[in-house]
């Protein structure tokens, strides 16, 4: 039994819709993988330990901070910049403050500029790896340990970077369930 022209067209269109849906579903993990492998968009790398090689050439790392619109935290770097040798492990600190009367959870996204340096900027430990929860009035100091991979000097674009800017943006997230339950005001007494 053969299909009529309208049925063939409908079958092809359904196939196209299914294919597009599958590609859309796979695009987010693929894009994340692509950015991590290539450093595209200033995505940094992660490392278990510092570099074995430290060069005599220095690079300046600047620190930037932002919070998404509507998030009530105050967030800032405790140093504006530092100069270190390429391959040397650096330790920088950011401060977050919750000036409200309620707990707020947040997660930090990050990137570096210029984008060509992203592949060579490696974080060993970072507050951005986990969700942060600040209680009302709580102020915390959060470290980030990093280094610039010595291979940057062999990259045809990134080798010209004299300054790398590490930028974080905090985004408000839902409170973990156990904290969300504590944040709900208890009702006392009865109304008879």
HSE (CB half, 13 Å, CA atoms) of 58?
Answer: 6
Give pLDDT tens digits for 21-50.
665 655 444 444 444 444 444 455 666 777
pTM of the full structure: 0.70
> What residues have CB less than 8 Å from 140, skipping those under 6 apart?
95, 96, 97, 132, 134
132-150 average pLDDT score:
95
Q: Where are the domains of the chain?
A: 1-38, 41-179
pLDDT tens by residue, 155-186: 998 989 999 999 999 999 998 876 555 555 54
Q: Torsions phi, psi of 90, nearest 5?
A: -110, 155
| Structural domain 41-179, CATH architecture | Sandwich (2.60)
């Amino acid at each position: 039994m053969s299909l009529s022209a309208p049925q063939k067209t409908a079958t092809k269109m359904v196939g196209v819709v299914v294919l597009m849906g599958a590609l859309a579903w796979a695009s987010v993990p693929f894009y994340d993988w692509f950015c991590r492998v290539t450093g595209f968009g200033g995505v940094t790398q992660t490392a278990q330990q510092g570099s074995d090689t430290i060069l005599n050439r220095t690079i300046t790392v600047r620190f930037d901070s932002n919070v998404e619109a509507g998030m009530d935290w105050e967030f800032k770097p405790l140093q504006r910049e530092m100069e270190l040798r390429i391959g040397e492990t650096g330790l920088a600190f950011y401060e977050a403050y919750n000036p409200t009367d309620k707990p707020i959870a947040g997660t930090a996204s990050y990137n570096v500029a210029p984008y060509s340096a992203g592949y060579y900027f490696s974080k060993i430990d970072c507050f951005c790896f986990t969700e942060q929860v600040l209680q009302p009035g709580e102020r915390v100091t959060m470290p980030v340990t990093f280094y610039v991979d010595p291979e940057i000097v062999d990259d045809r674009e990134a080798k010209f970077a004299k300054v790398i800017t590490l930028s974080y943006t905090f985004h408000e997230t839902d409170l973990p369930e156990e904290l969300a339950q504590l944040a709900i005001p208890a009702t006392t007494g009865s109304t008879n």
